Homo-oligomer: A and B are copies of this chain.
Amino acid sequence: MPYVNIKITREEVSKEQKQQLITGATRLLADILGKNPATTFVIIEEVDTDNWGIAGEQVTERRKKGL
């Protein structure tokens, strides 16, 4: 009964891509640990680029620099 939480920046992730993340993460837990997909949760959280910092800098600013 694993719980997988994926946090990514909110930058035009499609519904299909989200489904692919859910499928992939569920399969990963089944393949490596034999976990039952029926009780595997995957929760994707999209975070505004103003609200995510790396290297002390907002992702919003990093994107402007092409990072």
Which positions in A face B, CB cutoff 8 Å?
1-9, 13, 15, 17-29, 31-33, 35, 37-47, 50-61
Q: Decide yes or no: A55 and B35 within 8 Å by CB, A3-B41, A47-B45 being known contacts.
A: no
Q: Give the residue of B15, B17, B37, B58 whose beta carbon is less than 8 angstroms from that of A56.
A: B37
- A46 partner residues in chain B, CB cutoff 8 A: 51
Bound-state CA distance A21–B27 (Å) is 11
Q: Can you report 9 residue pairs joining A to B where beta carbons are below 8 Å apart?
A: A4-B25, A13-B33, A19-B58, A22-B56, A24-B28, A24-B31, A26-B55, A39-B55, A41-B53
- A4 partner residues in chain B, CB cutoff 8 A: 4-7, 25
